[in-house]
Amino acid sequence: MKLDRLLSIVVLLLGRERMTAADLALRFEVTVRTIYRDLDAINASGIPIVAYPGPGGGFCIESSYTIDRRLFGFEDLKAIVAALKGVNAALDDRAIGSVLEKIESLGPRERAEEFLEDRVVIDLFPWGRRDEERRLVKLLEPAIAERRIVEFSYSSYGGRPERRAVEPMTLVFKSYAWYLWAFCRLRGDYRIFKLIRMRDIDLKLERFTRRPGSYKPEAEPPQPPMIEVVLGFDAARVDEAEEWYGGEGFERDGKGGARVSLRVPEGDWIVNMLLGFGPGLRILEPERLRSLFAETAAGISAANASPGEAKKKRQVARKS
């Protein structure tokens, strides 16, 4: 629409030194003649357009002209820009990019360099999985916008893969990973799917009518019961332990080591997580978790022993 284009031209010229008619025409996919008419209309409305001829010339809004910025302070605008940059880095959405440009144009020109500084960066992709999760986010976001059915192979933690057909509703970033909240046709209900567990994704031509409701944290499947875990760390692992578990449950023991109390969901995942600390960790409570930890570590040791070591262990076992 012409009104939208006129507003966008004003915003662009507020945020830049100057732009040529050809650049504006390319930006809005119209003719140069149309841009000239638009600039005349903007000027006639009371917004002063200034033309600079020759190389490096173009159009800009008179430097003394400003719009009312009282609604947002400088720090308010900086916070909005930081948040939008984080989201746009994930979605690479043209609409969000346009909003960013509009908001940036509201910053005071005399503080333009400071306004564009990245004092806060919001990065929504975990270390090591950036490219894969970015690809999945950019694949699924248009499917949500276009109301297209998505099929994929999915396996819950410890489960077998199943082929799912879903109506995608919302992309969710939680804790350290991306999820898709969708209506699952196999289960006949809403489900949340971890993106890195989705395989062989296929966007169908079939479209759906969006169902009522929106994502809420309580919409997630029930979590396993919580258990109390107490860990002991040797001096060599204290700094690492504090980085992971520092807080009210972290306590140095006065001998160089530390004791950590945790309340976590029950499951084998705890053992897998704790094995990364190596021999500097002791599970003090509960007893069943300590036994499982010892059995798992022994199994790993046996699986990675050299043939000679494995033979020696079998001989020792037979003698005992």
Q: How many domains does the chain have?
A: 4
Higher pLDDT, 150 or 123: 150
Look at 53-67, 151-165, 194-208 and tell me which has the smallest mean pLDDT. 53-67
Hey, which of 52-56, 82-86, 149-153, 304-308 has the most confident mean pLDDT?
149-153
The pLDDT of residue 255 is above 50: yes
Would you say residue 315 lies in a domain?
Answer: no
Higher pLDDT, 313 or 29: 29
pLDDT category of residue 83 using cuts at 50, 70 and 90? low
Would you say residue 86 lies in a domain?
Answer: yes
For residues 286 and 245, membership in a common domain is answered with yes
Would you say residue 311 lies in a domain?
Answer: no
Phi, psi torsion values for 66, nearest 5 degrees: -140, 155
For residues 291 and 252, membership in a common domain is answered with yes
* Tokens read off for 171: 């992309």
Higher pLDDT, 189 or 156: 189
- Domain boundary (219, 254, 280) is at 219
195 and 133 in contact (C-beta within 8 Å)?
A: yes
Instruction: Work out the mean pLDDT of the chain and round it to a whole number.
Output: 76
For residues 211 and 249, membership in a common domain is answered with no
* Tokens read off for 33: 């003649």
pTM over 0.75: no
Output Rg (C-alpha) for the chain, integer angstroms. 29
Would you say residue 184 lies in a domain?
Answer: yes
Q: How far is it, in rounded angstroms, from Cα 197 to Cα 162?
A: 11
The pLDDT of residue 138 is above 60: yes
Question: pLDDT value at position 258?
Answer: 85
Report pLDDT digits (tens) over 4-63: 677 778 777 776 667 888 888 888 888 888 888 888 888 887 778 888 888 778 888 877
The pLDDT of residue 81 is above 60: yes
Would you say residue 235 lies in a domain?
Answer: yes
Q: How far is it, in rounded angstroms, from Cα 288 to Cα 299?
A: 17
pLDDT category of residue 74 using cuts at 50, 70 and 90? low
pLDDT category of residue 313 using cuts at 50, 70 and 90? low
The pLDDT of residue 307 is above 60: yes
The pLDDT of residue 314 is above 80: no
Q: For the domain that residue 171 is a member of, what is the CATH number? A: 2.30.30
Phi, psi torsion values for 180, nearest 5 degrees: -115, 120
Q: Edge-to-edge strand order for the sheet containing 198-207?
A: 189-194, 177-184, 162-174, 148-154, 198-207
Question: pLDDT value at position 261?
Answer: 86
For residues 108 and 36, membership in a common domain is answered with no
* Tokens read off for 18: 């100057």
Report pLDDT digits (tens) over 256-266: 888 888 887 77
pLDDT category of residue 70 using cuts at 50, 70 and 90? very low
The pLDDT of residue 281 is above 50: yes
Would you say residue 151 lies in a domain?
Answer: yes
The pLDDT of residue 115 is above 80: no
Would you say residue 308 lies in a domain?
Answer: no
Question: pLDDT value at position 149?
Answer: 96
Question: pLDDT value at position 222?
Answer: 58
Question: pLDDT value at position 53?
Answer: 84
Higher pLDDT, 134 or 191: 191
Question: pLDDT value at position 167?
Answer: 96
**Full domain range(s) for residue 25:** 2-61
pLDDT category of residue 310 using cuts at 50, 70 and 90? low
